[in-house]
Every structure is written in structure tokens, then in C-alpha cells.
Chain A
Amino acid sequence: MSTTLTTSAPATCWACSTALGESPLLCVACGKVQPTTSLDYFHAFALARKLQIDLPGLEREFHRLSRRLHPDRFARATPQEQEWSLAATALLNDAYRTLRDPIARVEYLLKLEGLEIGEEHAGVNKRADRQPPADLLEEVFELNMQLEEMRMTQKMGESDPSLQRDLKSARTKFETLLSEVDNDLATQGRAWDEGDAATRPAAAKAMAALLDRRRYLRNLVRDVNQVLGA
């Protein structure tokens, strides 16, 4: 399977030549920070590419590594080590931020696995807004009409309690769908974790589709909230 990110890293410590093994950011023997050109986030935490993560354990490891890697610890070190410390800490922080969030974690894993997913922030090469999920076409169409009507009503400085009720119940419905998606994601996540090379691609594909659906639903809920909050 092709990966978009490489996971190569030096095998030994630059300072004492000890094999780096499971702790690629930091040499266990001499404690020196290591150059970290292109580690993936799982590797940075010496974790397997699995979606079920022990969060308290992740935080402990984050704190332990931060104490050793942070630029504050290298204020008197060589410029080279300072640079590595900065890069290693940035990677550690990015990794922690991504892995502790269940959705970002899935998105990241799928990207590592070479699946193309619509990213929230990829505005530069942004793809056009996706089509609504096929099973929701009708509801989405109706919701958009109601949203538009509500915006008009608000623009006129009027209120429409029945429309407001409709929007609130639509919001409840889509929020329910959202939590269903989250459940399905968790299920597929377990399937990924317990699967093998043969079954994992199917789980990954399912998760990519669920993420798309989730993003779509979330934007709908956000739109409703915006209109109701105004």
C-alpha cells in the first residue's frame, strides 16, 4: 500500500550511536534529542497504527517527552540541537493534538494509509462542497429551504416560532445522525485495530465514507446553530 508520508528515521543516536529502537525522538542511552525529519505521529509516540488509544497514557507520555525535548531544555545547547529540539517538540505537539482527538486521529490514519479524504482546513486546494449523502437528499433539501426562509424572516426583523421549532427538531435529528456516525466510526475503528492486511482496507474505506458523512452533518448542524443563534 502506498503511503503519502514516509516513516524513515535514523536507526542510531547521532551522539552515542545507540540503536534508537522504539523511542525515535530521544536517545534512551544518552538522552540527546534526535533529528526528526519525517516521523509519523504514531511512531513519535512509539505507538502502533491503531485507533484505540489509552488517553491518560498518551498524556503521560506527552508530558514525559515534553520534559526532555522542549526548547526550554536546550536554551544552552548547540544551535543544531536547538533546531532539533524545536522540530521534535513541534512534531510531538502536532502528534499529541492529532492523536488525542478521535476524529483527527482517524483522519490522520487514513491519510497515512493513502486514502484521500476531504480535510477541514485544506482551503488552498479545496474540493468543491460534497453532494449530500444520498439517503439524506430530501431532508437536506428541506432543511436548506427552512434555513433560507428563517434568514429572510430574521432579515425582516420578524420571528416565526413554528419555523424555529422545525429547525430545532431538524437539528435534533441531525445531531442524532451525527452520534450514529460516531458510533459507526468507533465500530470500524475496532475492526481496523483487530483486522489484518486483508480486512483493513474495507474498514479504512468505510471510515473515509463515514468521515465525509460526518463532516456534512456537522456543517448542517453548524448552519442551523448559526441561524438559531442569530
Chain B
Amino acid sequence: MPEETKTERVVGIDLGTTNSLVAYMEGSEPVVIPGVDGSNLVPSIIALDVLDPSDPGAKPTVTIGNSARRALIETPDRAIYSVKRLMGRGVEDVQDELKLFPFHLAPDIQPGEVIRVQLGDKTFTPSEISAYILRQLKRNAERYFGAPVNKAVITVPAYFNDAQRQATRDAGRMSGLDVLRLVNEPTAAALAYGLDRAKEGIIAVYDLGGGTFDISILKLNDGIFEVIATNGDTHLGGDDIDNLLLAVAIDEIHNEYKIDLRQQPDAIQALRKAVIEAKIALSSQDSAKLDIELPAKDGVTQRYQREIPRAVYEQLIAPVIQRTAGPTKQALADAGITADNIAQIEEVVLVGGSTRIPAVRALVDQLFGLSARGKKPHTELNPDEVVALGAAVQANILAGASAATEDLLLLDVTPLSLGIEALGGVVAKIIQRNSTIPASATEHFTTGVEGQTNVAIHVVQGERELASDCRSLARFDLKGIPPMPAGLPRIEVKFLIDANGILQVSAREQRSGKEAQIEVKPTYGLTDEQVETMILESFDHAEADFEARQIIEAKLEADTILAALEKAKTGPAWSLISDSEKVQIETARANLAATKATGDLAAIRTATTTLDHTTRNLAEKQMDAAVSSAMRGKTMEAAGESLANENIQAPHPFAKPEFEDDDDKDK
């Protein structure tokens, strides 16, 4: 082995629905690598920048993370969030999502084709969008280390199926990362918790994130983390709570003010921001207020004001939260744990931002009988960061780099049974769910007609009896079978689920000893060739000269912030800040402008960071202005029609409006 491979850093990445993070092992401790703005979380939002119409040669650039947040409100047709919910799915799967998310799919997607999202006049597959997020994390890590980072461990929900896993791995490849392993999120969290304690016994990890829910039951034994059962729902999370609150608010506004916000994506995004803030507040307060200026109607502006008491909120979200109970009970049953011996579960670890909700904690307490046993769930590690920290631990295990992890080993399972479609459309299960991976199964096939040279195999994932009720995974076409009488060929097909939870298939005709050719048609997935073409362009070139690329990027970043500042000076927020602040900003601006020309990487970065910090207050003010302006419907033309024509029924109204004077509002 060449020496550099030994010291090469492998990072751990949590590619989340709401936020993404990159972490690595610093000595014996995993740490999150902050972005250029100092924040550990990179919001999983990407936006296609508006091109300068005067520059015909301009190439579209993509903004990622916090800086793309503004685009959600200002240019909703060019921005996307929660793309994880679209990974590895077909058009027919995402219809429900589309009702409540401002996603626009490309109009020309054929059934069975990988979906593409329309951003401006371009379309992107969910893997490509995720690749942009991954590339940002890669860059954050490179900036932090001052060295290239090419290898990563990426986490996925434990309940992700084969297509969703493949889409994630494809995204890694597109971003220029060699994905050494896909690790299940709850398992990663267990690793992060288990690192500093020599625990033995059975634990449960309850992971409710922005868009996915996982429950895993693990047995810890002398550094071995053995998953015994896992279950979940890849479309259940904080997003569903947001959408519910949003639907109620939209409905109420429609009923009481006769204003239909569904036609106004920018207003929807602003309202979404407000309900999310209310949701977060309700995790620590007994009530929260929604107070939003509505778009003007007949020349009159009104405010939508609602008090949401915690009790009403909890009643509203109870059905969403309750959906985690079924998978939890199933996982416990699969692990051989009944209500009577729930005490076998010694610890429960809470992961994911949505586990901050008190009602979620109450449900967990009840499901595992925690307080009855004088126990509390583990929440010591930041639920937003714990998965990335665990990914860093796994990255360190794979790198074989340190004594801290040399005795640790993850033994994970496949969350869904693998089956093949047999006669009559029934599923013959060949690998049961909760089998430790890698797992394999060998099946024999033959022909039904004399001289038949092809055999088709339909592989599905799921627990249902009928193939049509399971997730179609791929169709394998075994070709080149030597012509023989019917029933004589004996084709041995080996199915192997690898350590990433991804299926590999190989086949051999045993009578002739001939290696059969297999043509795979993934039901929802990209071919290798397609992935190749989607490898993010900038990578091909810039990788060659890392230093040069870093300087170019630093200059671009400086340009971006300088341009944003110039624009801000003409906006309403500029008048809201003090004169002394303006002087500070001007000093930082001049400094950056001067430093930029030097080509000194460190100096440019320092100056950029300084200007960024100095203008933070201004940016906040600007954001507020953008929100309220959006609510008045004064920003860019509403371009989408998400939520349009959707008859959203509010399951429960909020409390009646309060029209008391608000003296703390209206800056």
C-alpha cells in the first residue's frame, strides 16, 4: 500500500433531509467540521442562481446551504429542499409529496424513468442535487484540512430500500467522493454513543428526523454492534408536521380571509418558515404565536394571528407521531422482545431533530416503559449531530486509522426482505428482513420452453405476499442460455446483499458451466453511463490543482459576498442598521476588496469571514424584509403552482385569532 492511503482522511457524512453535516475523527473523538459560515449544519437546500442576462456566456452556478435559504422565498422555482424524500423513487411514488412541497418535476419524465426536478430552465435528478450538497461538505472538509478529501462514509436511513441506497451512492460518485460505505443512520448514532463506553446489552435507537423515521434494536457486545432488528418509514418526519401545520394555516387563511396562498409559492415558503419556528418554539414553550402579514387584498393588508397552545398542537400532530409506534413494535417483535420483557431494552437513544418534541419523547417513554423503570432516554449528544459523529467513527474504522476504533465492528441488517416474483405474481422470499449483511441466497432457475435462451427474473423488496405490493427492485434478464430441452438448463443465480445493503447478482448455467450474461434493468435507478455523465463538471478539472481551485473558490466567495453587499446597500434593510455598523462594514469591505487581488488564500478567507460576520445583522434584517415582502406578494412573480388545486383539509383549527395589540412586533 502506498503511504498516503494510510494517512488519507475518510470523512463521515450525514446527508440529511433538512441538514447535512460532515465529521471526522480527531484523535479519539469524532468532531463536526463547520462550514465557512461557522455553522456545523449545512441546510440541505440548493438553489440555481439567477443568471446575469447581460452575460450570454455565463454558466449557471449553484448555491448550497444557508446562502440558498433566501432563494426559497425569493426564487422558489429555482430552489429545492428535502430532496432526500425523492431519492430512488419513481414519478408515481412522489405524487403525495408534490402536493405539499414546492417541487416541480420535469414535464417530460416517462414512467419508469428516474425523476428529474425542474430548477429554472434546467432539470436535475435527486442524486445530482444531493451531489451538490455532498460537494459542499467535501469542500468544507477540504478547507478545514487544507488537503483534498476523496473518501467518505455516507449515512442513509436504515429503512432505505435498494434504489434509495443506490441513488445515494450515485450522488457520492457524482460529487467526486469514493463512497467506502453506506451506514444506517441509527446504527451510526449507536456507534457515536457507544464509543466512549464499554456497553454490553440491548439498546434501541429511535431516529425521527426531518423526513425519515428509523427504529433499530442493537445488541452490544465487546465492541461489536450487532443490529438484531430494524424498521421504519422513509416518509415520516418533521416535514410531515410542518406540512400539517402549513395545511391548517393555509386552510384557515383561505376560510377567514378569502386569500388563497396556494397560488403563491413565495408566500407559502414564508408561511412555512413561520410554522417551523412555531413548531420549534412549542418544544420548549407552552404556546407559540403565528403572526404574519398577509398579501394585500383589495388594497387592505391584514395579519393572520394565531395562538397555538401546546395541547392543541399535540392533538394535531398526534397522528403523525403515532405512526412511529407500529414500526417500533414490529422491530421489537422481530427482535423477540414482547411488552412483558421490554426491560431487556437497557437503553434508548434518541436521534434526529424531531425527537426534541416533548410529545415524541412521551411516546418513546411509553413504548419502552422507560420512566416506569426509572430510566431516561439518551439525549446527551446533539440529535442533529450524532449521526454524522457516528459516520466519522465508521469512517475511522474503515480507514483502520486509530486504536480508538480498532475493536469496534458494526454488523448491520437488511431492513426489507428480498424476493423474486414466482408464478402467479406471488413473492418467494430468498433473504428475510433483518438478516445480517452481507447476506446471500442462491436460487436455481430453468427454462419452460425447448430452446429457450433467456430467463427473466423480477426481484422485489418488501414484506407483502404479492410482487405487485412490493417494491420492484430490478428485472434481470439471463441471456445466452445454451438451447436445450425445456427444464434441462440449470441456472444458478446468486443474490448477494453487500455491506451497503445493495444487491449484487451473478448467474451461471451449471450444465454448460457457462457464465450467464445478466442484463439488469433497475426499476428506479441510473445506469453507470448515466451516472458518468452526471459527475459534477467542476470536478473533472479542478481536482488537478487543488490549491489553484481553492484560491479561485475563495475569490468567488469573496465576489459573491461583495456583490450581495452592494445589492443590500440599495435595499430597505440598509437603512435599518446603525451608522457605526455601516462604517465597520465599509472597512471590512475595503479590506476584502484589497486582499482579493493578492491571491493569498488565507488572507482572502480571513477577510471574507470578517465581512461575513460584520454583515450578519444586515443579512438578518434583509431576510426579515424579504419574508414580509413575500407575504405581501410583492416579490418575483409566483412561478410555481405547488399546492395549487389541492383541497387541503384542516384536521383541527388553531385557536381563534387574538387581536390584542402586539407591541413587540412590526419593526
Which A residues have a C-beta under 8 Å from some C-beta of B?
A: 63, 66-67, 70-73, 75-76, 86-87, 89-91, 93-94, 96-97, 121-126
Contact = CB atoms under 8 A, between A and B. Distances in A.
Q: Which 3 A-B pairs have the closest CB atoms?
A: A123-B428, A123-B422, A90-B438
Interface string B558-596: 000000000000000000000000000000000000000
28 contacts: A63-B226, A66-B224, A66-B409, A72-B394, A72-B398, A72-B410, A73-B400, A73-B409, A75-B181, A75-B399, A75-B400, A76-B6, A76-B399, A86-B499, A89-B499, A90-B438, A90-B440, A90-B496, A93-B439, A94-B439, A94-B440, A97-B436, A123-B422, A123-B426, A124-B443, A124-B445, A125-B446, A126-B422
A45 to B, nearest CB: 15
Contacts of B436: 93, 96-97
Contact of B437 (A73, A93, A125, A126): A93
B222 interface: yes
A203 B221 CA distance: 37
Nearest to B223: A67
B372 to A, nearest CB: 27
A71 B501 CA distance: 13
Interface string B386-422: 0000000010011110000000011100000001101
Contacts of B423: 126
B222 A97 contact: no
A20 B98 CA distance: 58
Interface in B619-643: none
B78 interface: no
B314 interface: no
Contacts of B496: 86-87, 90
Interface in B73-101: none
B435 A97 contact: yes
Contacts, number: 81
Main secondary structure of the interface of A (DSSP, over half): helix
Nearest to A119: B428
A86 B438 contact: yes
A71 B496 CA distance: 14
B122 interface: no
Q: Of A72, A86, A87, which is in contact with the most chain B CB atoms at under 10 Å from its CB?
A: A72
A124 B428 contact: yes
Contacts of A67: 224, 409
B378 interface: no
Nearest to B413: A93
A71 B498 CA distance: 9
Interface residues of B, number: 40
Contact of A125 (B411, B435, B444, B498): B444
A54 B444 CA distance: 32
B430 interface: yes
Contacts of B244: none
Contacts of A122: 428
Contacts of B446: 125
Contacts of B1: 76
B180 interface: yes
Given A63-B222, A86-B498, A126 B411 contact: no
A125 B448 CA distance: 12
Contact of A123 (B5, B394, B420, B441): B420
A7 B399 CA distance: 35
B429 interface: yes
Contacts of B180: 75
Contacts of B604: none
B463 to A, nearest CB: 13
A181 B270 CA distance: 66
A162 B304 CA distance: 59
Contacts of B498: 71, 86
B271 interface: no
B370 interface: no
Interface string B172-207: 000000001100000000000000000000000000
A91 B427 CA distance: 24
Contacts of A93: 435-439
Nearest to A70: B409
A149 to B, nearest CB: 23
Nearest to B398: A75
B439 A123 contact: no
B48 to A, nearest CB: 36
B510 to A, nearest CB: 12
B440 A121 contact: no
A124 B439 contact: no
Contact of A63 (B221, B399, B443): B221
B409 A72 contact: yes
Contacts of B6: 76
